[in-house]
Amino acid sequence: MSRAKLDSIRAAGPAILPSLLQCDFGDLRTEIEKLTVAGTRVLHLDVMDGHFVPNLTYGMPIVEGLRRHTDMPLDVHLMISDPIAYAQPMVDAGADLLTFHVEAVDDCVEVAGKIRDMGVGVGVAINPDTDFAKLDCCLDSVDMVLVMSVNAGFGGQQFNPVALDRLRSLKERKPDLLLEIDGGIKAETIGDARAAGCDLFVVGSAIFGQHDYETAINELTQAMHGSPPATGDQS
């Protein structure tokens, strides 16, 4: 297993990563085609176990199905209590970057090392209410930090600006570390996240809640770079 896809993810940044949790799973092929046309370069998958977080989503078969339809890197966010138990099956299914939660494990360095030995990129995620210092021990052991701007696994939450402070701190301390943000990312928040040093932006409803994915991603890209969304007669 090669870590070449990690280099592809690095090269894609700054990049918008559609969160496939809200896509049409009955027609994955068409969804991937639409996202590819829209300029997507990396896909994000949220895996929830109903234990670490209250919701239950998908597992290896969906990752494997996606891999059959695309060569794009698959960024898999493990919102699960025992990430190591499922890490190798996820890698075998086609995951290129696995992110576990600092809150879910006792030894971040050990978990990061085991995932790295599987030949993929490794990330660590942290919820906004978790002590930021919990990351200190493993920053040298991971390729990416996923800064949550909402608590993982809960819908309907507001963007927590503490994520921006954390991004700025991480960028200053570890300028070569990939930084990702997830939760409430839309045109009104993505520019601030980019200004704080973020590289990868996980987006759900701001893409999948729109009729035209290409228009939605273009507007988010403009906002990411500090340009206001286009206005005027859209008829």
| 81 known member of a binding site | no
Q: Where are the domains of the chain?
A: 4-224
pLDDT single digits (tens) 135-157: 999 999 999 999 999 988 766 57
Q: pTM (2 decimals)?
A: 0.92
Quote the distance between the C-alpha of residue 219 and its chain's center: 19
DSSP string computed for 72-138:
S-EEEEEESS-HHHHHHHHHHHT-SEEEEEGGG-S-HHHHHHHHHTTTSEEEEEE-TTS-GGGGGGG
| 13 known member of a binding site | no
pLDDT the model gives residue 226:
84
What is d(CA 222, CA 211) in angstroms, rounded to the nearest whole number?
18
DSSP state of 20: G
Of 49, 182, 192, 199, the active-site residue reads 182
For residue 49, pLDDT over 90 is answered with no
**% of the chain exceeding 70 in pLDDT:** 93
| 59 known member of a binding site | no
Sheet with 178-182, side-by-side order of all strands: 15-18, 200-203, 178-182, 144-148, 121-126, 97-101, 74-79, 43-48
DSSP state of 13: -
Catalytic site residue 182? Answer: yes
Of 46, 75, 96, 143, the active-site residue reads 46
pLDDT single digits (tens) 71-118: 999 999 999 989 999 999 999 999 999 999 999 999 999 999 999 999
pLDDT the model gives residue 51:
79
**Average pLDDT over all residues of the chain:** 90
What is d(CA 46, CA 125) in angstroms, rounded to the nearest whole number?
12
Catalytic site residue 131? Answer: no
CB-facing half-sphere around the CA of 232: CA atoms within 13 A: 3
**Given CA atoms 42, 174, 103, 193 in this order, what sign does their dihedral have?**
negative
| 169 known member of a binding site | no
* Angle at CA of residue 190, ends 185 and 196, nearest 5°: 120
**% of the chain exceeding 90 in pLDDT:** 74
| 183 known member of a binding site | yes
Q: What is the CATH number of domain 4-224?
A: 3.20.20.70
| 101 known member of a binding site | no
| 44 known member of a binding site | yes
pLDDT single digits (tens) 50-76: 777 777 687 788 899 899 999 999 999
pLDDT the model gives residue 156:
59
